């Protein structure tokens, strides 16, 4: 199989956003008089969209729809102020993107992060490379692991899903890739574990971004 495009998750795959996400969320919790969480806990909290993040942050007995909405709004206010305090590309990612671009691969991003924040992060922190399409979570579009957005990206690229390699760091990403008929590749420099990625059906695991290039010429099949 000759792959023609790479579809990336964003948080935990291209950018290390964990500390800024945790800082914004803990400030939002504090503003509402709620307990904060350790930064490491956010490795399991993030990845499934803002509403799910807010639900996971709240104590079980306080998980009402109005409080979830209030926490989401507070998070968006805080994150808009501090989204780039510590966020940066992972080591090796710029070099990986340089190689992919020079070799003619098309690059795209699909995130469960709100679309405006997804675009802001990519445009400000990964400005040297063209990601098209570039989508976060948008109203009216099912979030990952529903494959609809991934399939729409393949269609926009004019490619069959099997021509797209999907890189992500969570089970949600692996389920998305498999449901879309793309090759699911898990990255180990992100937020989740190798065991989680394998259990979710990763066809291959990368320990460092420089391991992607040889994989592009391997005979992996979708799934």
Which pair of structure tokens corresponds to residue 3?
């792959």
Can you tell me the distance from the alpha carbon of 33 to that of 210, in angstroms, rounded to the nearest whole number? 44
Query: Alpha-carbon distance 118 to 115, whole Å?
Result: 5
Cα-to-chain-centroid distance, residue 136: 9
**Selected catalytic residue, list 9, 11, 16, 20:** 9
- H helix runs in 83-211, sequence order: 93-102, 115-125, 148-157, 171-180, 194-199
- Which tokens sit at 119? 């675009």
Which residue in the block uniquely carries the two structure tokens 């991003």?
109
Q: N- to C-terminal Cα distance for the chain?
A: 13
- CA-to-CA distance for 120 and 139, rounded, in angstroms? 17
- 173 catalytic? Reply is no
Structure tokens at 19: 């500390």
Contacts of 4 (CB under 8 A, 6+ apart): 105, 106, 157, 159, 163, 164
Active site members? 9
């Amino acid at each position: 199989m000759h792959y023609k495009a790479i579809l990336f998750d964003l948080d935990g795959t291209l950018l290390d956003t964990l500390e800024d996400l945790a800082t914004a969320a803990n400030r939002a919790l504090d503003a509402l008089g709620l307990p904060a969480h350790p930064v490491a806990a956010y490795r399991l909290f993030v990845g499934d969209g803002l509403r799910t993040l807010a639900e996971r942050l709240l104590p079980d007995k306080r998980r009402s729809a109005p409080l979830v909405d209030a926490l989401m709004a507070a998070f968006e206010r805080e994150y808009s102020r501090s989204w780039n305090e510590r966020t940066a590309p992972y080591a090796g990612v710029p070099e990986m993107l340089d190689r992919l671009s020079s070799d003619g691969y098309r690059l795209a991003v699909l995130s469960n992060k709100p679309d405006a924040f997804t675009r802001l992060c990519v445009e400000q922190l990964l400005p040297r490379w063209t990601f098209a399409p570039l989508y976060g979570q948008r109203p009216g579009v099912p979030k990952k692991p529903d494959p609809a957005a991934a399939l729409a990206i393949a269609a926009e690229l004019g490619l069959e899903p099997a021509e797209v390699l999907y890189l992500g760091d969570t089970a949600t990403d692996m389920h998305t890739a498999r449901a879309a008929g793309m090759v699911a590749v898990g990255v180990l420099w992100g937020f989740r574990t190798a065991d989680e990625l394998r259990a979710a059906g990763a066809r291959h695991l990368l320990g460092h971004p420089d391991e992607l290039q040889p994989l592009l010429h391997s005979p992996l099949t979708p799934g």
